[in-house]
Amino acid sequence: MKAILYIIAILATGGAAYFSFDHSVKFKAQQKVRIEAIETNRVVTANAEGTEKELKIEQGVLKTVKDQREETTQSIAALKSNETGLKRQVGELDGTLEEQNQEKASLQKTIEEIKLVLKELGNDVTLDNLAKKIDEVTENKKNLERQLEEKETLVAAAEKKLAKNKDEADRLTQIKMKRNVRISRNAMEAVITAVNQDWGFVVIGAGSNTGFTPQTSLLVKRDGRLIGRLRPSAIEPTQTIADIILESLAAGVRLQPGDRVILAKPASL
């Protein structure tokens, strides 16, 4: 019985030892697995942390790249804007350059013209003394203009005097012409071309063209002697019909064609 118990105890002890050993082996295996899992977890965690760190670095790099790209984009836009502005400035400069070239050509032409003028002015005129010469010419011009004004004043006075003298000459000419007309009238003699004794009128070969008027009093003469008077009754341009003033006739005298007619009263001079 003791042996059996002893065997059972040995078996129990062996079983326990076996189970303990087996459990120890399994524990060690599990411990090893756990340790390996922990190590793996640590490595994974470390890798994850490294990866996260690298991700953060990559994100930082990406952000930097994005920022740089944005800056580059802005720089490109600014450069394009500057390019447009520069092109505009270049166009403006080209226009300004063209204007300056034209002004230069015009200035060169003016210089050539000035040189020709200086050459005409004389060998003593140069660009250095041109201002002085211009002052001299300006002063001479002022003097000449002043003299011209004086001459124009004198000419105006002379023209007024001439106009006045002309008016006076015209007036005297008119007076002379009128006087000559009156003198010619005083010296005028007309001829009786027809006589009507029954009705007592004569026809004279002169009329209004000669100066006869209804108020003109006429004398009739023959051989230098006055033989009667006439009174105009109808006057035409080239002939006059005049009534015979019978009481003015000398006794036995009858007017005849060919008798001369003169003015009874000379025209006033």
Span 200-228, pLDDT tens digits: 999 999 998 887 888 888 999 999 899 99
Given a contact cutoff of 8 angstroms between Cβ atoms, the answer to whether 240 and 193 are in contact is no
- Spatial separation of the C-alpha atoms in residues 72 and 143, rounded to whole Å: 76
Predicted structure pTM score? 0.33
Assign 242 a pLDDT band (cuts: 50, 70, 90). very high
Pairing of strands 225-235, 260-263: unpaired
What's the CA gap between 234 and 214, in Å, rounded? 7
Residue 9 is predicted with a pLDDT of 62
Half-sphere exposure of residue 12, counting CA atoms within 13 Å on the CB side?
6
Category of 231 on φ-ψ map: left (φ > 0), alpha (ψ -120 to 50) or beta: beta
Helix (H) or strand (E) holding 176: helix 130-187
Question: Which is more confidently placed, 197 or 103?
Answer: 197
- Write out pLDDT tens, residues 133-142: 677 778 877 8
Tokens standing for 38?
Answer: 């922990």
Most confident stretch, 4-13, 70-79, 124-133, 210-219 = 210-219
* Distance separating alpha carbons of residues 89 and 94, to the nearest angstrom: 8
Long-range contacts of 246-251 (CB under 8 A, 24+ apart): 246/200
Spatial separation of the C-alpha atoms in residues 261 and 83, rounded to whole Å = 118
Across 68-97, b (16+ Cβ under 10 Å) vs e yields eeeeeeeeeeeeeeeeeeeeeeeeeeeeee
Indicate the domain borders of the chain. Answer: 1-127, 133-187, 188-263
Instruction: Give the C-alpha separation, 105 to 99, whole Å.
Output: 10
Taking a C-beta distance cutoff of 8 angstroms, is the pair 204, 193 a contact?
Answer: yes
Predicted confidence at residue 194, as pLDDT, reads 96
Averaged pLDDT for residues 19-45: 70
| Topology adopted by domain 188-263 | Thrombin, subunit H (2.40.10)
Return the percentage of the chain with pLDDT > 70, whole number. 73
